[in-house]
Amino acid sequence: MAAKRLNMRKRYELLTRGLGWEPTYQDKEKVFSNETYEGIKITNWDKWEDPFRLTADAYWKYQAEKDKKLYAVMDSFAQNNAHLNVSDASYINALKLFIQGVTPLEYQAHRGYARLARQFSGEGAQIACQMQSIDELRHAQTQIHTLSHYNKHFNGMHDPFHMHDRVWYLSVPKSYFDDAKSAGPFEFITSVSFAFEYVLTNLLFVPFMSGAAYNGDMATVTFGFSAQSDESRHMTLGLEIIKFLVEQHEDNLPIVQGWIDKHFWRAYRVLGLVSMMQDYMLPESPMSWKEAWDIYFVENAGALFNDLSRYGLRMPKYHEQATLEAEHLSHQVWGIFYNYIHAAAFNIGLPTEKKMDWLSEKYPNTFDQHYRPRIDMWREMEKDGKRFFNMGLPQLCQVCQIPMGFTEVAKDDPMQIAYRVSNYQGEKFHTCSDGCKDIFDNEPEKYVNAWLPVHQIFQGNCGGAEIPDIMKWYHFRPEDGGDYNGSADQKHWQEMRGETKQTDTPSEPVQASA
């Protein structure tokens, strides 16, 4: 009689717990040298519960099926030239931001989890991190493959990994992941699995994917769906990790809470880029940043932390400020890019009247009062042939690395830039908010090492002193940035669609005379 087939749980147990052993040639502390220095105490790794108990054989089969479907959609998308069906070529700029800013993070996550799979001594945790590492690599690959079709027809998507390592606005997502990756393994997993994947991932993926759906981009929707089942597994893992850590030892609670505070704020600042995409870069907008924040943070995270309160965990510090900023964030981030779009590898433009009305409706407390006048002013300047470009370089926050354009919203002074400063060993370090200042003050030794793009330019480490030299060093081409009106993409789009060529000439930044 044939041996009875093992059930899934049994197979999972054999695969994980059954694979471990006690080292005899080396001390266990040396083999797993990263496991204790953060102060986290693990008393029993066997309490680690994986939410899905996915075995390797089931995993391969399931992922292979998803890939088969995704690549079939990509093939048909390419054969049908389906890029011509999107709402407008200006939509593609959201995809440029995605491949420059998000896809390299998938790859960074892949590397981070691979390290964890090696550094955790619990076999269950090793397997879970290994699976997630493979997922993240697959996400990076499927995103690159999907968007490579757009790269044939549009600018700015030709070298995202190179750009990610060098470009001023991409140092924002990069530095967040560098921060997590250069921390210990428990901080990394709290940061990426919990603060980012559990608390905030919906604010990243839903806006991009629903934006794609609303704007006729079925290829991007498909890779979104293909990643979604992985994301829900990652989210559940994030929650299990937090519970595991606080249940293992009471000393872990304050450490974990500190990491939640820090990485909530770090990840939230990165999402400022998403808010701009959502409110200003989509020709058809399914949902405003503020609406998404209310649903995915205020409601969902509120309920989550209610559940977690029995473990002694509370909402992340400064969450109230982030909620107050929800009515300002996208307008301020977009304003930064309007100032500096000549030094970016995507295009933006002033919102249409229709979009202005949508913004008024979605932001009744802020748009007409503060931000509509700014756009009116810029529109007048454009009409007079004096399109405003900021010809200086911005002051950057030492922690989040975003140009310091956020205002004193929490102090009811929303049109005044917020400035915070710390002194460390005789040098000043500027931050954009109380959240970023706290992060600096907790670990100044770490953040003095920050590679701030603006300062690096002044030090002469970025290809030269003039903007064209720096753009070349970024691997930007002249046609990659600037206003969408008159851009190479707009022209090419009209040609591809057989529409009349328009005669707009793009505004060029010129050095104002002294």
Partner 1 sequence: MTVKSINGEYPETFMDSVDKFHGNQLVYIGWDYHTSICTANAYPLPPEMPFGAVTEAVLPTVLGPHPDFPKIDWDQVIWQLDGEPFTPDMTKSLLENGVGHKSLLRFKTPGLDGYQGTYN
Encoding tokens for residue 376? 């009116």
Q: Which residues pair with 424 in a beta bridge?
A: 427
The three-state secondary structure class of 423 is: strand
In order, the DSSP letters of 60-73 are HHHHHHHHHHHHHH
The site map against partner 1 for 431-470 (x = CB under 8 A) is ----------xxx-xx-xxxxx-xx--xxx----------
Residue 214 or 451: which CB sits closer to partner 1? 451
Contact 347, 489 (CB under 8 A): yes
Kindly state the smallest distance separating residue 58's Cβ from partner 1, in Å. 36
Per rule CB under 8 A, is residue 378 in the interface with partner 1? yes
Per rule CB under 8 A, is residue 381 in the interface with partner 1? yes
Q: What is the dihedral of CA 455, 456, 457, 460, to 10 degrees?
A: 120
Query: Among candidates 312, 258, 222, 206, which has minimal Cα distance to 39?
Result: 258
Per rule CB under 8 A, is residue 225 in the interface with partner 1? no
Per rule CB under 8 A, is residue 238 in the interface with partner 1? no
Alpha-carbon distance of 197 to 191, in angstroms, equals: 8
Alpha-carbon distance of 437 to 443, in angstroms, equals: 10
Query: Among candidates 135, 127, 128, which has minimal Cα distance to 110?
Result: 135
The residue type at 225: F
Residue 503 or 511: which CB sits closer to partner 1? 511
Per rule CB under 8 A, is residue 37 in the interface with partner 1? yes
Stretch that binds partner 1, among 6-14, 108-116, 130-138, 413-421 (CB under 8 A): 413-421
Stretch that binds partner 1, among 43-51, 161-169, 299-307, 389-397 (CB under 8 A): 389-397
Kindly state the smallest distance separating residue 132's Cβ from partner 1, in Å. 23
Residue 253 or 452: which CB sits closer to partner 1? 452
Alpha-carbon distance of 491 to 502, in angstroms, equals: 8
Per rule CB under 8 A, is residue 211 in the interface with partner 1? no
Per rule CB under 8 A, is residue 251 in the interface with partner 1? no
The site map against partner 1 for 64-103 (x = CB under 8 A) is ----------------------------------------
Kindly state the DSSP code that residue 59 receives in the 8-state scheme.
H
User: Contact with partner 1 (CB under 8 A): which of 23, 302, 373, 468?
Assistant: 373
Applying CB under 8 A, the site for partner 1 has a residue count of 62
The residue type at 472: K
Kindly state the smallest distance separating residue 389's Cβ from partner 1, in Å. 8
Alpha-carbon distance of 345 to 368, in angstroms, equals: 29
The three-state secondary structure class of 288 is: coil
Kindly state the DSSP code that residue 428 receives in the 8-state scheme.
E
User: Which residues form the interface with partner 1 (CB under 8 A)?
Assistant: 33-34, 37-39, 184, 332, 335-336, 338-340, 369-370, 373-374, 376-378, 381, 386, 388, 390-396, 403-405, 407, 415-417, 419, 421, 425, 427-430, 441-443, 445-446, 448-452, 454-455, 458-460, 511-514
